[in-house]
Amino acid sequence: MKRFFNEACDINTPDKSGVNENKLCFPPLKVVCQAPETTVKGQVANTNKHNVYSTKNSMYLLGFEEILNTVLDCEPHIFTDDELRVIENFKALDSDERYLFVRLFMRKRNKWFRVGHLTYPDCKDVIACCKQLVLKNFFEDESLMSTEEIIEILSLDELRSLARQTKVCGKSRSEISKEIIFLSKRQSVLHCNGQQFLSFDAFGVMHKQESFLRKQLLYQCKSCVKPKKILVDLFHRINIVYFRSSIYDEQSLTSLILARLNKFSYPNYVLSRTSNVFNCRAQCLEYVEVLELSKNLVPIFENTAASDKEALEQALNSFFEIYPIWSTYLNEDIREFWVEENRKVDTRLVRFSFSFRPGAVYTYLIHKSLNILAKSRLVEVEHEILDTLLSQNIYLVGKRGHWYNRKALLEYNFKTEDTNVLRYWKTLALSTCENGIEDKYTHLRYYFSLQRRLVRLRKCLKVSNTTELKSMKLINNNPSRLFLHGERIHNGDLSNRTVWRSKTNNAITVEELALQHYQSIGWEGIHAESSILLTLFALTFWDILFEDVPGVFQSPFQSAPLDLHTDSFYISRESTIMKRLEEIRNGKAGLIIKDNYIREHQRKTFCVGLNWSYTCEMLLEIVDCINDNGLAQIFLALTQDYKNSSSGIPDLCLWNPSKKKFMFSEVKSDNDRLSEAQKFWISLLISSEVDVEVCHVSMHKKK
């Protein structure tokens, strides 16, 4: 809860340039989100302020109850009668009891809390509330705690005190805990004087050490409670439904709470809460279940090392367990998707609703598992999976370019001594590259690698360029390079960040050292990375970001549409995006940016990627120096894949107003290499005729 407290009290509040697409909340059906009322002097009026004198008007309780009421009103069909009764029982609790349940529910899941350590000033009597919640079956008490759970919540000092009493060795928490748990399994009882003997109850039944130790442990920790698992699962499911979560997130109330405190002003847009995202209760349960599964499996699929044979085998077993389930869901969803398409239903709404199907999450898991198949060298299985993924265009269509590229690589590297078979596979790889480049869903970030592979294959197979492919613009993606020398300061920092000495003898970063050089030769510039481009993008595409697309605005507290980080964003707005890009090519970007900046600046509207610390004059100066076609290509990449394209943008943004020149610079110190994301941006910028160079900074050579 520390994070919630910090945000509520304006301590380390989130950067307004970021966005979490899952932390959103929802209003009634089809209303227009208006800007806050203004006072006579034009200042924003505080329309949502709550003075918290009791738990009845606590922002936590009000927000939680808004979630319950909204979901029950719009989607009651996904709950059983028993679940509805539980929710009604919750509503019937005293306000202090409801408040305390919500506060503990929002904290770490499946965690025990020591009643004596709970301090909530708004709650009149925490101890009495805990007792009532146990009696009313909302909380469990310490009688259900295991020995391991009791040990976990004791402080290190308390554990050491207990260790001295029971003659247990160990200094660290793990050592003492291990010894106490081992001791608890023994049958002889160890009294405080160190003497061991067998203990029997009144009926002659021998006690185990665990019973004796539990009493001592419980004496130390006193009363403990935690919300019942069945209730926690129910309310987390309601949260997922309410926030339309596409990842498993147990802390989703932040935006709602901050909005109630008037921390942020949100953009104006049309709101529309959908009530048919989940057709039935079973579909909702399956979706939530696979979200929880993905929370566990994605780190395994992403991080398992090829050298760890045991972990790799376990990851493979997980893949083979989910593969048949995914295949079944995929076939069913494909049939149902085309039925919906033929019904002339709005395609944008169909795609949005299908992103909350279990099949969508399973497809994401299969995509992530390709990493495990590659490390296991199961080439045939991986190739088959790639074929299956490419045979559908419902889920993860933005990854199609990646799948084409990987499939072509497997085909190109096929091992055989038969030259005819070898040529067949290379020809197949050639066809895969051509299909990938021609596929309308292939994003810019994958074009360059597919093009380079296609050129190599044509040369290898001695195939003439008989047909020119669309968007085929082969470029030399080698940027210009600058080599600088400086004095590096060894500050003992264990991080990878290097520290250098400035001209004024101050400690600075390697990017600041490079920026000093560029400024000395006439450039203006800042170390911005993605910040400048994302700010320009937000201001240029404001009306498109907040366009009335079905289903994507279900909250008055959104800084971005729900589908911005998905494939649907570009697909659902392709015509308006292309029209805006044409306007940018015709030199109208500055006018659009200026209009949006002037309108929104006073409220400092909370919009995805937008950093209000930049002045309008500086932004217009930068836009005036970038060639219009290059700016359009940069924005096209962001509309196609905002999530991934937001990373890898070069470090320094440099411009020269007098010469109307603009340049990006990626700064690298010793032994630092370009990432794949950085290589993509360098290729894109060069192909768009935007100047970019790599600045290598190294230490002065010793004489």
Tokens of 377: 């060298």
Residues 6+ apart with CB under 8 A from 505: none
Task: At 284, give phi and psi (nearest 5°).
Answer: -65, -45
* Cβ neighbours of residue 666 closer than 8 Å, sequence gap 6 or more: 479, 650, 651, 652, 674, 678, 682, 692, 693, 694, 695
Rounded Cα distance, 613 and 433, in Å: 43
CB hemisphere CA count around 598 (13 angstroms): 7
Whether 666 has a binding-site annotation, put simply, is yes
Spatial distance between the Cα atoms of 470 and 437, rounded to a whole number of angstroms: 7
Known binding residue 201? Answer is: no
DSSP line for 393-461? -SS-GGGHHHHHHHHHHHHHT---S-HHHHHHHHHHHHHHHHHHHH-TT--HHHHHHHHHHHHHHHHHH
Say how far apart CA 232 and CA 64 lie, in whole Å.
13
CB 69 within 8 A of CB 304: no
- 8 Å CB contact between 477 and 683: yes
Of residues 194, 195, 162, the one with CA closest to residue 180 = 162
User: Binding site annotation covers 529?
Assistant: yes
Query: Helix H segments across 1-146?
Result: 2-8, 59-74, 81-91, 95-105, 126-135
How far apart, in Å, do the first and last CA atoms of the chain sit? 56
Looking at 234-318, which runs of residues are DSSP E strands? Answer: 270-271
- Reference 536, options 616, 445, 433; nearest CA is 616
Q: What residues contact residue 278 under an 8 Å CB cut-off, 6+ apart?
A: 75, 78, 241, 284, 287, 356
Per the listing, tokens 């279900």 go with 554
Instruction: State how far the Cα of 371 lies from the Cα of 273, in Å rounded to an integer.
Output: 37
630: which 2 tokens?
Answer: 């290059």
Residues whose CB is less than 8 angstroms from the CB of residue 689 and which lie 6 or more positions away in sequence, other chains included: 627, 629, 630
Q: Flag whether 81 is marked binding.
A: no
The residue among 608, 597, 600, 593 whose CA lies nearest residue 562 is: 608
Rg (CA), the chain: 30
Of 307, 310, 571, 302, the closest CA to residue 439 belongs to 571
Contact yes or no for 254/4 (Cβ under 8 A): yes
Q: CB count, 10 Å around CB of 125? A: 11
Residue numbers belonging to the annotated binding site for Mn(2+): 529, 651, 666-667
Binding site residue list: 529, 651, 666-667
